[in-house]
DNA sequence: ACACCTTTCTAAACACCGCTTACAAAGCGT
DNA sequence: ACGCTTTGTAAGCGGTGTTTAGAAAGGTGT
């Protein structure tokens, strides 16, 4: 049990967070609209707004919507101070961008660059990139930005903020990018494992908006899995939860990057598919080319070798997590409808039918950029006030 | 976002819950002790106690511990009204018992009986059993008990309170035992899937006391899995989360009760082990006998066929959930240290090493009875006030 | 142009909460 | 019997959300 004096200020903090989230979600609004929509009384909203303006989260605009009675002054996110930065680190490309606190990413305010070869190079490139984006900012970054969110690949230990191992980007191994960046630029930096970032982003601003029980399975070079259950991101004890790719499905199968044999990741990814088709064609092809290869269009049997294992992954996720929605993300499934259909058909066979019926399966674009941004925004919101779920912890279900 | 007016009463409710939980955990205590131990001021505790006494959760005893100054009056759980009932339904045996709100099960106040053959028979038997235990209660059950917690096997949909499918006890299929029971006896009845019950029980009163990230893998006839992550029981959208037993590990393996082929459950359970040994011996033996069979003591290879798959299950759990602690529960592992050791050795090979290092693996006795009781107690506590975790929702981790 | 209506926003009063302070109550030791 | 120590509660303070009342601001209709 956590010790914490339950002070009265808690209530006002909770309400402040509510007001801010209302504006984040619904755009500029007057106090009266917020009061009605957020289930608070008008004076309460007013007080929260005063505090939020003082802390430069909100600002009052002149604009006032036309209507019947007295027009209300709209409140919007502070243009000067309600901004964050997002950084996505990937094996080949990195991205940096700025966003408002509502997650709107300024596309003109973003850059991409090839991932440097060394850790120091990467750190410096990120620092330079941040400077480039915020070039017009005089003085300290912290005058306009409240923090930086990072999406990092590989196994990331969130308890200590360290990338433990990144199979596709070894320069991160053992490094603490968020901490190092924070030391350099003096802004708080929050890193999330990329699959977790995907989840947080989709939940806050994407297809999973408002959903409390969903999973995202990301099929690309590896298998990434992010889970939100009961409204909480499943992180595990150290943030390493979701490593579906390394469960054994072929007891004496092919060797995997993790050192083991027969991991799901060796047979149910883009890479595995490309390798298979390459062998079929007798020459090395990439994923894109593999998908359009005649062998693929010709025979179900060839794609079955990858797709049926993918179905095992899908059904494992549904069986184990019982999500209300499962988002599938990845070239393989989103390019060829035949493949998606087969995944669905096979997964249906392999999944417990009540859980399968209970789960909507959707294709998803996903977006690590939104994820990085959402990560820091979520953190800022939690800093403001704890998320408060007044319905208990969902352990039990009433039947009376 | 959940609408709920943040009333001031919230704070006092939270404190009431704290006081109650303090007494549940630490036994009878004076107001002063509770104030010191619970991080509240003395007057706050006094007020909460007044309310709790009024609602018959607590009562003041005459007893006063000897000491230096003025002796404090001890507060304890109400003997008259702070009681609940627990019901465990199993394939062959059922159990009914009463417990105090601190989870202390009155052993003399409990009975077991063979599971009836029909649903109506079961319902009636439970009602009769409850009557037997509470025989000395005059009038309504609700005069002494606050509710009934049930542990049920199989797939249980907690959203509608219905057992969807129970492979080992088909009479429950499609039934809503908790609701039916509630209608009959007029007490609120809460059902939990047995693996989830195990989790809740271990967390509240057992080996997992106070742990926020752990998993319990229950190996018996089937494979049961319960997960607590970030302090929350993982239920999924409908309470069907944790069905690890039906992920496919032998793509064209043996047929499983679920209708599929090669499920983990067909190769990594007590039953699977007994079947294997039976074939080895040329005659049918049970699990107990199988464990002591000469073939088992002789060769590693025989047990390896079951145990290595069990290791796959263990490593899947650790990879996917990254728990701080994993409890292994079941005859197979808890009887023969050789088997447990081999599970550990194989699991270590198959698990991502950072996650494996991060996880303590313990054997556990587990106890569905405590689970059933804990289920209803947890529900009552949530009814009193929402669980309050003031540290945010753990989505992100600061690195600055 | 003016009264009227509708809606927005805030000030005041009230009830509730937890905390600090002050004090009465209840035993023990000398 | 007196002091000592601890317990428990009453009063006052600052904080919070709500209701009520009223001022502010703009359109509508005559």
A188-206 pLDDT, tens digit each: 999 999 999 999 999 998 9
Checking if the pLDDT of B399 tops 50, the result is no
The pLDDT of B321-337, averaged and rounded, is 89
Query: What's the pLDDT score for residue A208?
Result: 94
Structure letter (DSSP) for residue A83: E
Q: Does A190 contact B390 at a Cβ distance shorter than 8 Å?
A: no
Checking if the pLDDT of B391 tops 60, the result is no
Residues 145-204 on chain A lying near strand C, CB distance under 7 A? none
Q: Which residue spans of chain A are classified as CATH 3.30.420.40?
A: 83-200+368-384, 210-363
Q: Is the distance between the Cβ of B58 and the closest atom of strand D smaller than 7 Å?
A: no
Superfamily of domain B209-363: ATPase, nucleotide binding domain (3.30.420.40)
Contacts of B376 (CB under 8 A, 6+ apart): A396, B84, B85, B86, B146, B147, B148, B149, B188, B189, B190
Specify the higher pLDDT residue, A180 or A262: A180
Chain A nearest-CA residue for B187: A400
The label of the residue with tokens 């088709």 reads A277
- Cα A336 to Cα B257: distance, rounded to the nearest angstrom: 34
**B41-CA/C29-C1' distance, Å:** 29
* pLDDT bracket for residue A335 (50, 70, 90): confident
Give residues 2 to 61 of A whose Cβ lies within 8 Å of B: 2-6, 8, 10-11, 14-15, 18, 21, 25, 38-40
Q: Does A176 contact B237 at a Cβ distance shorter than 8 Å?
A: no
Q: Does B396 contact A390 at a Cβ distance shorter than 8 Å?
A: no
User: Which of B159, B321, B400 faces A397 most closely, judged by CB atoms?
Assistant: B159
Specify the higher pLDDT residue, B308 or A318: A318
**A45-CA/C8-C1' distance, Å:** 13
Give the distance from residue A116's alpha carbon to the nearest chain B alpha carbon, in angstroms: 23
**B23-CA/C29-C1' distance, Å:** 31
Q: Is the distance between the Cβ of A64 and the closest atom of strand D smaller than 7 Å?
A: yes
Our CA angle for A189, A190, A196, nearest 5°, is 155
Query: What's the pLDDT score for residue B335?
Result: 79
Give the distance from residue B7's alpha carbon to the nearest chain A alpha carbon, in angstroms: 8
Phi, psi values for residue B279, rounded to 5°: -65, -40
Radius of gyration of chain A (CA): 23
Residues 46-85 on chain A lying near strand C, CB distance under 7 A? 46, 49, 67-73
Q: Is the distance between the Cβ of A8 and the closest atom of strand D smaller than 7 Å?
A: yes
**A283-CA/D9-C1' distance, Å:** 87
Looking at domain A210-363, which of 3.30.260.10, 3.30.300.180, 3.30.420.40, 3.30.365.10 is its CATH number? 3.30.420.40
Query: What's the pLDDT score for residue A396?
Result: 32
Phi, psi values for residue B191, rounded to 5°: -105, 145
- Cα A91 to Cα B139: distance, rounded to the nearest angstrom: 71
Strands B189-193, B145-152: parallel, antiparallel or unpaired by DSSP? Answer: parallel
Give the distance from residue A153's alpha carbon to the nearest chain B alpha carbon, in angstroms: 15
Checking if the pLDDT of B225 tops 90, the result is yes
Are B146 and B380 in contact by the 8 Å Cβ rule? The answer is yes
Q: Is the distance between the Cβ of B7 and the closest atom of strand D smaller than 7 Å?
A: yes
Q: Does A382 contact B375 at a Cβ distance shorter than 8 Å?
A: no
Give the distance from residue A63's alpha carbon to the nearest chain B alpha carbon, in angstroms: 27
Q: Does B322 contact A10 at a Cβ distance shorter than 8 Å?
A: no
B111-170 pLDDT per residue, tens? 999 999 999 999 999 999 998 888 755 567 778 899 999 999 999 999 999 999 998 899
**B106-CA/C28-C1' distance, Å:** 38
Structure letter (DSSP) for residue A255: B
Give the distance from residue A294's alpha carbon to the nearest chain B alpha carbon, in angstroms: 27
* pLDDT bracket for residue B239 (50, 70, 90): very high
Q: Is B87 on the interface with A (CB under 8 A)?
A: no
Residues 42-61 on chain A lying near strand D, CB distance under 7 A? 42-44, 47-48
Give residues 299 to 318 of A whose Cβ lies within 8 Å of B: 308, 312, 315-316
Query: What's the pLDDT score for residue A390?
Result: 41
- Cα B270 to Cα B135: distance, rounded to the nearest angstrom: 38
Structure letter (DSSP) for residue B246: G
User: Which of B231, B242, B396 faces A375 most closely, judged by CB atoms?
Assistant: B396
Q: Does A312 contact B359 at a Cβ distance shorter than 8 Å?
A: no
CATH 1.10.10.10 fits domain B10-77: yes
**B44-CA/D11-C1' distance, Å:** 14
Looking at domain B83-200+368-384, which of 1.20.1070.10, 3.40.50.2300, 3.30.930.10, 3.30.420.40 is its CATH number? 3.30.420.40
The pLDDT of A288-299, averaged and rounded, is 68
* pLDDT bracket for residue A397 (50, 70, 90): very low
- Which chain A residues are closer than 8 Å to B11 by Cβ? 6, 8, 10-11
Query: What's the pLDDT score for residue A299?
Result: 63
Nucleotide nearest to A12 (CA to C1'): D16
Q: Which residue spans of chain A are classified as CATH 1.10.10.10?
A: 9-77
Q: Is B399 on the interface with A (CB under 8 A)?
A: yes
Strands B58-64, A360-363: parallel, antiparallel or unpaired by DSSP? Answer: unpaired
The pLDDT of B80-94, averaged and rounded, is 93
**B25-CA/D6-C1' distance, Å:** 24
Give exposure, B80-105, as e/b (b: 16+ Cβ within 10 Å).
Answer: ebbbbbbbbbbbeebbbbbbbbbbeb
Nucleotide nearest to B36 (CA to C1'): D7
Rounded to 10 degrees, the C-alpha dihedral B392/B393/B399/B400 comes to -20
Checking if the pLDDT of B72 tops 90, the result is no
Give the distance from residue B255's alpha carbon to the nearest chain A alpha carbon, in angstroms: 12
**Percent of chain B having pLDDT more than 70?**
91
Query: What's the pLDDT score for residue B376?
Result: 96
Q: Which residue spans of chain B are classified as CATH 3.30.420.40?
A: 83-200+368-384, 209-363
Our CA angle for A283, A284, A285, nearest 5°, is 115
Q: Which residue spans of chain B are classified as CATH 1.10.10.10?
A: 10-77
CATH 2.60.40.10 fits domain A9-77: no
The pLDDT of B165-184, averaged and rounded, is 94
Nucleotide nearest to B10 (CA to C1'): C17
| Cα–Cα distances in angstroms (integers) from residue A125 to residues A3, A94, A96, A128, B263, in the given order | 42, 9, 10, 5, 48
**Percent of chain B having pLDDT more than 90?**
57
- Which chain B residues are closer than 8 Å to A159 by Cβ? 397
If you measure CA to C1', which residue is closest to nucleotide C26? B70
Cβ atoms < 10 Å from Cβ of A223: 26
Q: Is the distance between the Cβ of B33 and the closest atom of strand D smaller than 7 Å?
A: yes
**Is the pTM for the entire model greater than 0.85?**
yes
User: Which of B38, B232, B321 faces A394 most closely, judged by CB atoms?
Assistant: B232
Give the distance from residue B66's alpha carbon to the nearest chain A alpha carbon, in angstroms: 28
Chain B nearest-CA residue for A314: B247
Q: Is the distance between the Cβ of B46 and the closest atom of strand D smaller than 7 Å?
A: yes
């Amino acid at each position: 049990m956590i010790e914490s004096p339950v002070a009265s200020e808690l209530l006002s903090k909770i309400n402040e967070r509510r007001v801010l989230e209302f504006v984040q979600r619904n755009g500029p609004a007057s106090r009266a609209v917020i009061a009605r929509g957020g289930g608070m009384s008008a004076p309460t909203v007013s007080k929260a707004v005063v505090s939020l303006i003082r802390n430069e989260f909100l600002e009052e605009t002149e604009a006032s919507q036309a209507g019947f009675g007295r027009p209300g002054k709209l409140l919007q996110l502070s243009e000067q101070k309600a901004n964050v930065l997002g950084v996505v680190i990937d094996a080949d490309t990195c991205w940096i961008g700025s966003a408002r606190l509502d997650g709107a990413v300024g596309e003109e305010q973003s850059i991409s660059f090839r991932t440097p070869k060394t850790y120091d190079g990467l750190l410096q490139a990120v620092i330079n990139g941040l400077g480039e984006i915020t070039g017009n900012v005089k003085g300290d970054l912290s005058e306009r930005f409240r923090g930086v969110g990072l999406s990092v690949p590989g196994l990331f230990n969130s308890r200590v903020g360290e990338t433990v191992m990144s199979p596709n980007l070894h320069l991160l191994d053992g490094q603490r990018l968020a901490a190092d960046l924070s030391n350099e630029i003096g802004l708080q930096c929050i890193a999330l494992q990329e699959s977790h970032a995907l989840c947080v982003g989709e939940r806050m601003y994407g297809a999973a908006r408002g959903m409390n029980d969903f999973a995202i399975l990301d099929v690309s070079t590896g298998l990434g899995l992010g889970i939100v259950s009961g409204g909480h991101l499943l992180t595990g004890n150290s943030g390493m939860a979701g490593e579906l790719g390394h469960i054994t499905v072929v007891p004496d199968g092919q060797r995997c990057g993790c050192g083991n044999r027969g991991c799901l990741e060796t047979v149910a990814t883009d890479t595995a598919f490309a390798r298979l088709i390459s062998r079929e064609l007798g020459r090395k092809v990439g994923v894109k080319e593999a998908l359009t290869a005649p062998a693929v269009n010709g025979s179900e049997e060839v794609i079955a070798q990858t797709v049926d294992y993918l179905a095992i992954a899908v059904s494992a996720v549904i069986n184990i997590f019982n999500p209300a929605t499962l988002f599938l993300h990845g070239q393989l499934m989103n390019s060829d409808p035949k493949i998606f259909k087969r995944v669905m058909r096979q997964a249906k066979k392999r999944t417990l039918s009540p859980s399968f019926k209970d789960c909507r399966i959707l294709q998803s674009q996903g977006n690590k950029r939104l994820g990085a941004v959402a990560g820091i925004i979520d953190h800022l919101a939690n800093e403001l006030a704890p998320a408060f779920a007044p319905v208990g912890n969902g352990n039990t279900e009433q039947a009376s």
